[in-house]
Structure formats: structure tokens, C-alpha cells
């Protein structure tokens, strides 16, 4: 009888330990991915599937060699961004296409794989930039609509704002030539 009670206690302790580990994993993923955690959970409809996907993203990211941009590259990209913004006044759709291309170029130079699969690019970026990845998705959606003639000037302006949020993050938070994002401090 004593052995049965000990066995039951051991099973209870093991089950509690597993539940505690799962809870901590969930909390850590929620902390690391912020709003992206909720988006993936809503998309998958199952906590286990969502958390497995996020853990896979983190594992994939760990294998990448993501690097900071050199100051000269930051300056060059910032100048190109400013040119795209100036172009927006007269040619909004081409300016948005340039903004999309610039974000992809910066991602590539930083070491992110830039495949044709937009969702994979967004997933890769979400590990390091979980707050602004939604801006990327919104901007990309508007950009795709623009190529089909389904975006007005205000939509295109919003696309530029959304692309800018990720662009600033990708350039680097300490970059002085970019405008600050509301969630980041600006250096002077």
C-alpha cells in the first residue's frame, strides 16, 4: 500500500512539473513574441500548435547569422529612404514599391533569408522584431493591392508609415539619421 501511495505521489509531482514547464514556456513565448503570439494563436486556433510554430521560428532564427549594418550602409539606406519619401509626393505607388524593395534589401544585408514567400520573411523577422512585424504585414498587403490598382493615396501613405516602422528597426535603434519610432528612444 505504501508503494502505491509513493507511486501516485511521484506521478502527481511529475504531472505538476510538466504543467509548470509548459506554463513557463507559454509565458516566455508570450513575452518574447508579444502581439505576434496572439496573432499566431488566433491563426492556428490551438495553443500547442501556435507555440510549436513560434519555437520553430526561434530555432530557425538561431541558425541565421543576423548582423548589424555598417554605419555607411545605414547612411546609404537612410538616404534612399528619404528619396523614396520625396518621390511619394508625385508618384505614391512607385514610392511604396521602392519602400518594399528597400526593406527587403536591408533584410538581406542584415542576414535574413529573403525568399519569394512573404509569410516566411515575416516569420523570420518576427523573432527579432515582434512588435513591428504587423506593420510589415499591413504594408505588404497594401503594396500588393497597389500593384493591382486597389490602393488609394491614403492607403499608400499608410503603407509608407508601416514600412518605415520596420525599416527603422532594421537599420538599428542607435542610428541617428533615422527618425525615431514611438517605442524607441532617439539618440542625439
When comparing pLDDT for 149 and 53, which is higher? 53
Question: Cβ-count burial of 179 within 10 angstroms (0-12 exposed, 13-18 middle, 19+ buried)?
Answer: exposed
Q: What is the DSSP letter of 187?
A: P
> What percent of the chain has pLDDT above 70?
91
Q: Domain coordinates of the chain in residue numbers?
A: 2-62, 71-171
Q: How many CB atoms within 10 Å of residue 172? A: 16
pLDDT at residue 125 is higher than 90: yes
pLDDT-derived band at 173 (thresholds 50, 70, 90) equals low
d(CA 178, CA 74): 9
Nearest alpha-carbon partner for 170 in 156, 181, 186: 181
pLDDT in tens, 13-64: 999 998 888 888 888 888 888 889 989 999 888 888 999 999 999 999 999 9
Amino acid at each position: 500500500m505504501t508503494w502505491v501511495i509513493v507511486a501516485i505521489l511521484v506521478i502527481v509531482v511529475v504531472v505538476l512539473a510538466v504543467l509548470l514547464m509548459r506554463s513557463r514556456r507559454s509565458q516566455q513565448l508570450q513575452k518574447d513574441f508579444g502581439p505576434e503570439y496572439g496573432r499566431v494563436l488566433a491563426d492556428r486556433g490551438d495553443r500547442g500548435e501556435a507555440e510549436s510554430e513560434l519555437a520553430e521560428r526561434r530555432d530557425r532564427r538561431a541558425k541565421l547569422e543576423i548582423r548589424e549594418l555598417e554605419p555607411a550602409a545605414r547612411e546609404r539606406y537612410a538616404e534612399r529612404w528619404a528619396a523614396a519619401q520625396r518621390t511619394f509626393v508625385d508618384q505614391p505607388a512607385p514610392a511604396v514599391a521602392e519602400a518594399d524593395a528597400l526593406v527587403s534589401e536591408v533584410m538581406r544585408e542584415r542576414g535574413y533569408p529573403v525568399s519569394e514567400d512573404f509569410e516566411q520573411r515575416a516569420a523570420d523577422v518576427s523573432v527579432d522584431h515582434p512588435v513591428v512585424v504587423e506593420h510589415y504585414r499591413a504594408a505588404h498587403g497594401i503594396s500588393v493591392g497597389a500593384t493591382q490598382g486597389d490602393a488609394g493615396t491614403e492607403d499608400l501613405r499608410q503603407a509608407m508609415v508601416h514600412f518605415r516602422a520596420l525599416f527603422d528597426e532594421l537599420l538599428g535603434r542607435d542610428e541617428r539619421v533615422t527618425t525615431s519610432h514611438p517605442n524607441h528612444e532617439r539618440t542625439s
